């Protein structure tokens, strides 16, 4: 069985919001390699252009739109552009997020709001603006969450609050939209190699090594680990799966995460 486990999305349109770098771009690439038509959205024109070029190498149709998920009108316009070209959305991945390590006392209200507005309000914007375009029945929504959603971590009050909210959006929207045949699930990535998120949370080789040691499977994840779970959730194999929050983290959330935060905190105090 190949890397894509023989998933075939050649009849499908897949939209990945925040899909121009890191994990989400990796997820988009898995779908592109499995034949999907892709639409990706983020703020930076340069990142959108290079993601469209990269994903296009898989051979399928790819479109990009520029939008800040904090701005509902921009999100609506971006998604409308995809719907005009592609028609109904089969899969919507919502993964735009922001993070920086800071204690609550070192964070302004605007700093806290920046993350909550991107992660939580942004997820609401993306799902609500996508709703008219989702295939009914059959649409599959995947929110990209984080261990912070259910593991309290120092330096992460903003992300913990926001991602807990994202998972509650997953559950409540699954209930409200289930009757129309739309499924909504969250994936909780563990520590994923070569990502902006890990650069911010484990900025030194020593910290990164501590992370690896704290993962029961003793390795960092790859974005394809997340991509394969996304393809499973979007496929008919998961037809009866909705409202779930699924860690794909090598077992990290079982216990290793909090120790890392203590080490990161000490590291920050040195600077």
**Phi-psi sector, 208: left (phi>0), alpha (psi -120 to 50), beta:** alpha
Q: Which residue has the tokens 């609050």?
A: 161
Residue ranges in the chain assigned as alpha helix (H): 22-33, 45-56, 72-86, 109-116, 122-130, 157-177, 196-201, 205-214, 223-234, 257-270
Distance CA 18, CA 22 (A): 9
Regarding 118 and contact with ligand NAP (CB under 6 A), the answer is: yes
Regarding 20 and contact with ligand NAP (CB under 6 A), the answer is: yes
Q: Which is nearer to ligand COA, 36 or 248 (CB)?
A: 248
* Smallest distance from ligand NAP to CB 246, Å: 12
∠ CA 192-166-258, rounded to 5°: 50
Regarding 128 and contact with ligand NAP (CB under 6 A), the answer is: no
Task: Pick from 15, 28, 32, 198 the residue near ligand NAP by CB under 6 A.
Answer: 198
Distance CA 24, CA 80 (A): 20
Quick note: the x/- pattern for ligand COA over 222-261, rule CB under 6 A, is ----------------------------------------
Residue of 254, 271, 267 whose CA lies nearest to 209? 267
Regarding 192 and contact with ligand COA (CB under 6 A), the answer is: no
Regarding 105 and contact with ligand COA (CB under 6 A), the answer is: no
Stretch that binds ligand COA, among 95-103, 136-144, 169-177, 236-244 (CB under 6 A): 95-103
The binding site for ligand NAP (CB under 6 A) comprises: 18, 20-24, 42-44, 47, 68-70, 95-98, 118, 144, 146, 189, 191-192, 195-198
């Amino acid at each position: 069985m190949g890397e894509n486990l023989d998933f075939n999305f050649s009849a499908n349109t897949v939209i990945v919001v925040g899909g121009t770098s890191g994990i989400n771009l990796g997820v988009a690439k898995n779908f592109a390699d499995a034949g999907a038509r892709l639409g990706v959205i983020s703020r930076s024109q340069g990142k959108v252009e290079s993601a469209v070029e990269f994903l296009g190498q898989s051979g399928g149709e790819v479109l990009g739109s520029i939008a800040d998920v904090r701005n509902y009108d921009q999100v609506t316009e971006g998604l409308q552009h995809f719907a005009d070209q592609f028609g109904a959305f089969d899969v919507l991945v919502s993964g735009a997020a922001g993070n920086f390590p800071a204690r609550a006392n070192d964070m302004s209200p605007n700093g806290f709001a920046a993350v909550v507005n991107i992660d939580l309000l942004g997820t609401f914007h993306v799902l609500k603006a996508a709703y008219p375009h989702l295939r009914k029945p059959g649409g599959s929504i995947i929110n990209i969450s984080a261990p912070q959603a259910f593991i309290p971590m120092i330096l992460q009050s903003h992300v913990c609050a926001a991602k807990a909210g994202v998972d509650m959006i997953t559950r409540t929207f699954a209930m409200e939209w289930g009757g129309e045949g739309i499924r909504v699930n969250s994936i909780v990535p563990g520590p994923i190699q070569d990502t902006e998120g890990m650069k911010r949370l484990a900025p030194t080789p020593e910290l990164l090594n501590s992370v690896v040691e704290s993962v029961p499977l003793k390795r960092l994840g790859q974005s394809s680990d997340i991509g394969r779970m996304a393809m499973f959730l979007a496929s008919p194999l998961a037809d009866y799966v909705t409202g779930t929050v699924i860690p794909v983290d090598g077992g990290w959330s079982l216990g290793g995460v909090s120790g890392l935060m203590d080490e990161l905190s000490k590291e920050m105090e040195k600077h």
